[in-house]
């Protein structure tokens, strides 16, 4: 029986083994010719080629698109118009009133996203931190509960969106609960406020398990003897939390905060399936704006979408640099 698994495994990898054998002789010739340095190039080539074509070239092209006009996607159909697209995005007659902006949809998306980011990241960090602190206690079945909170992280955003659309619809589970509590049933996603709250709640539900894991890892790295020493001195728990837990969790906490910010700014998938940006434009966020301007609307404007994505990218670059700096600092502290 033990041989069976091995045979099956060999049968499954057999095409790859054959492939690897076939490329060996030509690579040997290449190696003799260029030395091991040339082999490094061979190993790097596929990944770098894909990087180059699908990340680096688009990155450069993005600027070109943002400075050209027209509705065509091919570059030779697009006249150069300079900073016109950025002007269109950012120009308002009266900056206190969104409606006077040339591209008021963009400003709607920006303000919606800002509101979403503030509330969602706060909720996310608070809920993840509480869960991590609880999982860090001396409880039975910690592994099980850790898995419980992680479960929605694996679900696809489309599934998440549909699960909650189903619960929030008129004949849904939430209305069943509402009626049993003596409240009026609602069509939750048709209400501007509830729809906005739902996007925050649902995205927190879907991702909090991920941040909980990072925070829990940080908590478990705090040496036990610190707590024991505090217990001996009869330090009150609130003081232990403020003086030991928070400072030592600091680096992980910062990483979580910035990661949550980066992902919150780009929110699209689950919200698009849940509310489609509605009702009206009350849950229209930046990525959906870019998607609609660039691809989905009839009067599509790739240049405008590119300009908007560059503005969003600038925010993300700042946040990512912050994250890299923070996680390097966290690593340094762990090493010490």
Partner 1 sequence: MSRILAFIFRRRGHGGGWHWTDIATWIWLIGGTILMFGPALWLVASSFKGPAQLAEFPPTLLPYVQQTAMVEGYDAPLPLYTATQEDGSTKVLAEIRRIGVNSQMVDPGNPDERINVNIADRSPVREIGLATGNYAEPLVKNNFLRFLWNSVFVTVMATLITLFTNSMAAFALSKYRFRGRDGVMLLIVATLMVPLSVILVPLYSVVNAMGLLNSLWGVILPTVATPTGVFLLRQYMLTIPDELLEAARMDHASEWQIYWRIVLPLAAPALAVLAIFSVVWRWNDFLWPLIVLSQREHYTLQVGLNTYAGELNVQWHYILAMTVVTMIPVILVFLFLQRFITTGIAGAGIK
Q: How far is CA 39 from the centre of its chain?
A: 36
Residues 232-271 that bind partner 1 (CB under 8 A): 255, 259, 266, 268-269
Question: For residues 228 and 215, is the Cβ–Cβ distance under 8 A?
Answer: no
Contact partners, residue 275, CB within 8 Å, separation at least 6:
189, 195, 198, 199, 283
Q: Whose CA is closest to 254, among 316, 326, 315?
A: 326
Residues 204-233 that bind partner 1 (CB under 8 A): 205, 209-210, 213-214, 216-217
User: Among residues 107, 116, 149, 196, which is the contact residue for partner 1, using CB under 8 A?
Assistant: 149
User: Among residues 185, 250, 278, 279, which is the contact residue for partner 1, using CB under 8 A?
Assistant: 185
Question: For residues 219 and 136, is the Cβ–Cβ distance under 8 A?
Answer: yes
Residues 105-144 that bind partner 1 (CB under 8 A): 130-131, 134, 137-141
Residue (30 or 119) nearer to partner 1, CB: 30
Residue (95 or 241) nearer to partner 1, CB: 241
Q: Whose CA is closest to 218, among 335, 330, 336?
A: 330
CA–CA dist 128, 131 (Å, integer) = 5
User: Among residues 46, 79, 182, 236, which is the contact residue for partner 1, using CB under 8 A?
Assistant: 46
CA–CA dist 317, 40 (Å, integer) = 30
What the block records as the tokens of 78 is 């697009």
Residue (97 or 280) nearer to partner 1, CB: 280
Residues 11-30 that bind partner 1 (CB under 8 A): 20, 23-24, 27-28
Number of residues this chain uses to bind partner 1 (CB under 8 A): 102
Residue (35 or 99) nearer to partner 1, CB: 35
Residue (282 or 320) nearer to partner 1, CB: 320
Query: What stretch of H or E contains 73?
Result: none
Q: How far is the CB of 97 from partner 1 (least distance, A)?
A: 29
Q: How far is CA 287 from the centre of its chain?
A: 12
Residues 284-323 that bind partner 1 (CB under 8 A): 287, 290-291, 294-295, 302, 305-306, 309-310, 312-313, 316-317, 320-321
Structural Rg of the chain based on CA atoms: 26
Tell whether residue 83 is a contact of partner 1 (CB under 8 A). no
Residue (90 or 162) nearer to partner 1, CB: 162
């Amino acid at each position: 029986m033990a041989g069976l698994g091995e045979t099956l495994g060999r049968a499954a990898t057999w095409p790859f083994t054959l492939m690897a054998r076939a490329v060996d002789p030509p690579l040997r010739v290449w190696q003799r010719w260029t030395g091991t340095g040339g082999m490094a190039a061979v190993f790097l080539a596929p990944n770098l080629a894909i990087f180059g074509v699908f990340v680096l070239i688009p990155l450069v092209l993005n600027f070109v698109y943002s400075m050209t006009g027209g509705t065509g996607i091919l570059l030779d159909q697009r006249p150069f118009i300079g900073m016109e697209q950025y002007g269109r995005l950012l120009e308002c007659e009266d900056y206190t009133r969104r409606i006077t902006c040339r591209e008021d949809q963009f400003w709607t998306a920006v303000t919606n996203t800002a509101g979403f980011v503030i509330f969602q990241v706060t909720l996310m960090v608070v809920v993840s931190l509480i869960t991590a602190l609880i999982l860090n206690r001396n409880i039975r079945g910690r592994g099980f509960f850790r898995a419980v909170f992680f479960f929605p992280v694996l679900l696809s955003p489309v599934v998440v969106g549909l699960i909650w659309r189903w619960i929030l619809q008129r004949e849904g589970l939430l209305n069943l609960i509402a009626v049993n509590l003596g409240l009026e049933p609602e069509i939750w996603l048709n209400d501007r406020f509830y729809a906005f709250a739902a996007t925050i709640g649902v995205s927190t539900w879907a991702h909090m398990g991920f941040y909980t894991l990072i925070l829990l890892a940080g908590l478990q790295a705090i040496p036990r003897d610190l707590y024991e020493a505090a217990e001996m001195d009869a330090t009150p728990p609130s003081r232990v939390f403020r003086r030991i837990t928070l400072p030592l969790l600091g680096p992980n906490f910062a990483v979580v905060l910035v990661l949550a910010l980066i992902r919150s700014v780009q929110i699209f998938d689950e919200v698009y399936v849940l509310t489609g940006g509605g009702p009206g434009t009350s849950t229209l966020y930046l990525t959906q704006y870019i998607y609609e301007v660039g691809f989905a609307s009839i009067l599509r404007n790739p240049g405008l979408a590119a300009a908007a994505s560059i503005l969003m990218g600038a925010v993300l670059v700042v946040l990512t640099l912050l994250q890299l700096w923070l996680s390097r600092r966290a690593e340094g502290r762990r090493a010490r």
